[in-house]
Amino acid sequence: MEEHMLFHTTLRNIGLFITLTFGCLTYRNTFSKDKLNSILSILPIIFLSISFVLNFNILKNKNDKFKRYKIIPQLILIIQITILLYILNMLRN
């Protein structure tokens, strides 16, 4: 039961950090100021990298109980990679 709660808590934390990433990106695009712009370019990458670490911890768990739930972290990984590509494209421009 404890591992089951840890799995769901980690998924919740991944979602939290992805939401913080979206919040920073939205704030950066809406209220663009020169001083805050550089800080708000770094924060989404930090939050997204934290969510990557949490997601990789779930993916490397070899517990048989969660085999049917393995699709969820894999889908989240695709979303994270898409967001990372968006951020890198935004920084390039």
Predicted local distance difference test score (pLDDT) of residue 17: 96
Predicted local distance difference test score (pLDDT) of residue 65: 73
Q: What mean pLDDT comes out for the span 50-63?
A: 89
Residue 31, phi then psi, degrees to nearest 5: -115, 70
pTM for this model (two decimals): 0.86
**More confident: 48 or 4:** 48
| Count of structural domains, the chain | 1
Which of 51, 60, 63 has the alpha carbon at shortest distance from 3?
63
Predicted local distance difference test score (pLDDT) of residue 78: 96
pLDDT in tens, 5-56: 888 899 999 999 999 999 998 888 887 777 777 788 889 999 999 999 999 9
Predicted local distance difference test score (pLDDT) of residue 27: 87
Helix, strand, coil percent values for the chain (each to nearest 5): 90, 0, 10
Question: What residues make up the domain containing 63?
Answer: 2-92
